[in-house]
Structure formats: C-alpha cells, structure tokens
Amino acid sequence: MTGSGSMQCLGFLLLAAVLLQTVAVAVTFIYFNNVLATMKETFSRSSISCLMHSNLRNVKGSDPSAEANGDPCWTVTKQLHFLIEKTMSNRYKKEISSAVKDEVSRVLPSLVIEEQEFPTRPEIAAHVTGTSMTGTPGVRQGLFPRKVPGEKIWSWEMEKGLAFLRNVEMSAGELVVPRAGLYYIYSQTYFRLSGVLEDGGDEGGVAEGVARGKQVLQYVYKKVGSYPVPILLMKNARTTCWAPGAEYGLYSIYQAGVFRLTAGDHIFVAVSDLTALSMDEKSSFFGTFLVT
C-alpha cells in the first residue's frame, strides 16, 4: 500500500507540474500578444499624428539630427514622401511618353511602330570612323590573302568622336557579328589623289590625259569560319580624271546593303589604294546594325 500510494503522489505531482507549465506558457503568450498589440496601436497613432502635423514639402529640408536620433515622425514622413514622389514620377513618365508618341504619330505616322508587331531586341550597332593609323604594308601582306582584291583597312576609330560600338566587337579592323540575323552594312571611303596628268599641250593631248585617269575601288568582305578566303559582299568603283593643271582630285565611294550573317562572322573594308585614302571621320567610315 505504501508503494502504491507513493506512485500515485508522484503521478499527481507530475500532472500538476505539466498543468502549471501549460498555464505559464499560455499566460506568457497572452501577455506578449497584448504588448505587441499595444505597440502596434501606439505606432499607428504616432504615425497618423506625425502625418497630421507634418509638412511634406519640407521633408528634404528637415533637421539632419532628426534622422540621427531616430525620430519616428521624421522616418514616417520621409517614407511617405518618397512613395508619393515615386508614384507621381512613374505616372508622369507614362503620360509624357504617350504625349510624345501621339505627337510623332500625328506628324510622321510611318515612324510609329507598335510594340506587339516588333518585339524589343538588344541594340546591336557599330559605326567606326577613319583614323591616321592604317597599318604597315608588311602586316597587310602577312595577314591578307594576295588573291583577294584590294588592300584591307586595318585600323578604325571605335570610341572617339562619332564612332561607337554597341554589342559589337572589332578585331584587326574587322567587325565581329554577335548573333545571326539580317544586317544593314554600309561603308564610305574618301580618296585624295595628287599629281597632274600629262597632256600633249593641245586639246587632243588633254583628252588623252583625262582618258588615262586612275580607277579607285572599294570592297566590303565577310569572313566565315567554314571558308578560308574572304567572301566579297559589295564592290564599287570610280574612274578619276583631272581638269588641266589640277594638282589633285577628291573622290568618294559609298555603298550599302542588307545581308544575312551568322554569329561570329567578320566584316571589313578594303580599297584599291590605301595610300590615297583620306581617313577623316566624316569622310571615311564603316558600320552595321541589326535589322531583324
């Protein structure tokens, strides 16, 4: 009986301990829950009070010490100010864009392109201009196949002035195509040829001298990894002639076209006489951009 009674007492003690622990946890939970609710209510009331007694126009000019001291009114007002500013800015941007688009569509309807018709693509374009560094004859002979007509232009300006590269790389005077597609390729070269053609001293001699004028040519090539020799894309030529007694002649050649290129293709320009080339940025240039 004594052993059985002691076991019952021990059981009651364990049960009482569990009940007391449960009650303590419940009371603690209720207490902290009430404290959190009180803090939320206090913060809410203080925030509303801050907004009712604050001037949003003076937020940026407020005393810096308020931020350092953690002033709740200053923090709430600043956050609300930034939210209003961001919302208004996004709204005005949309309205301004819409107004500009409407004006453009009214003046030039053909320039308005709907977004759903042409999905946005990454900008791929390049425009390189003339530079005085055109390479040395030895380098050209070592890298450019002799059986390919023309002398390659090895050096272009890529950054200064009007030149730029956007998602296009340049290597040894060649533009490297980053992705497959249809590309618009254009090139202009400007020649300054000096010297006076010999004439016979009469009208017949002058005509003969003019007839013996020099030809200048421009070539646009592409290089692909599967073919060892550059492939000619475009070719243009001009026959020069001088007036009697002229010391030099100026000539320019421009050509452009749309071609399908693959990722990794190289495109470059060559001319018939590299020494006669005038490499001014507004006279000699070369570029491409992705059409589709």
Q: What is the per-residue pLDDT across 161-207, written as a single tens digit (0 to 9) for each?
A: 889 999 999 999 999 999 999 999 999 999 888 754 444 444 444 44
Confidence of residue 228 (pLDDT cuts 50, 70, 90): confident
Give CA–CA dist 169/181, Å, rounded: 16
How wide is the angle at C-alpha 165 spanned by C-alphas 159 and 169, nearest 5°?
110
Is the distance from CB of 267 to CB of 174 less than 8 angstroms? yes
Residues 6+ apart with CB under 8 A from 230: 145, 148, 221, 222, 223, 268
pTM of the shown model: 0.53
If you search the block for the tokens 């597609």, which residue do you land on?
Answer: 181
pLDDT reported for residue 208: 44
pLDDT of residue 194: 73
Residue 236 bridge partners (DSSP): 218
Residues comprising the binding site?
Answer: 241
Residue-wise pLDDT for 36-47, tens only, equals 887 766 666 555
Q: Which two tokens stand for residue 254?
A: 């421009």
Tell which residue, 260, 158, 268, 181, has the closest CA to residue 223: 268
| pLDDT tens, position by position, 3-26 | 667 777 877 888 888 888 888 888
More confident residue, 269 or 225: 269
pLDDT of residue 3: 63
DSSP bridge partners of 287: 127, 186
Q: Which two tokens stand for residue 192?
A: 């300054």
Please name which of 157, 206, 191, 174 lies closest in space to residue 288, comparing C-alpha atoms. 174
Residue 64 CA: distances (Å) to CA of 59, 82, 106, 238: 10, 17, 50, 72
What pLDDT score was predicted for residue 210?
Answer: 42
Instruction: Name the more confident of 205 and 96.
Output: 96
Annotated binding site for Zn(2+): 241
Average pLDDT over residues 47-64: 53
**What is the C-alpha to C-alpha distance for residues 216 and 155, in angstroms, rounded to an integer?**
20
Task: Please give the residue that has the higher pLDDT: either 186 or 250.
Answer: 186
Question: How confident is residue 93, by pLDDT bands cut at 50, 70 and 90?
Answer: low
* 254 pLDDT more than 70: yes
Higher pLDDT, 73 or 285: 285
For residue 107, pLDDT beyond 80 = no
Place 56 in a pLDDT band, splitting at 50, 70 and 90: very low
Sheet holding 181-194, edge to edge: 164-166, 125-129, 285-290, 181-194, 248-261
Q: What is the mean pLDDT of residues 38-62?
A: 57
Determine which of 10-19, 22-31, 140-149, 209-218 has the lowest per-residue pLDDT on average. Answer: 140-149
**Residue range 108-139, pLDDT digits in tens:** 555 555 444 545 555 899 999 988 654 433 33
Instruction: Give the span between the Cα atoms of 292 and 274, in whole angstroms.
Output: 33
Mean pLDDT rounded to a whole number for the chain:
74
Of 151, 172, 175, which is closest to residue 163 (Cα–Cα)?
175
Backbone φ and ψ of 207, nearest 5°: -60, -40
Other beta carbons within 10 angstroms of residue 198's beta carbon come to: 11
From residue 82, how far is each of 53, 61, 72, 73, 282 by CA, in Å? 18, 14, 16, 14, 47
User: What is residue 109's DSSP assignment?
Assistant: G
- Is the predicted pLDDT of residue 209 greater than 50, yes or no? no
Of the listed ranges 8-12, 25-29, 222-226, the one predicted with least confidence: 8-12
Tell me the three state secondary structure of residue 84. Answer: helix
Confidence of residue 241 (pLDDT cuts 50, 70, 90): confident
Percent of the chain with pLDDT over 70: 59
d(CA 276, CA 31): 93
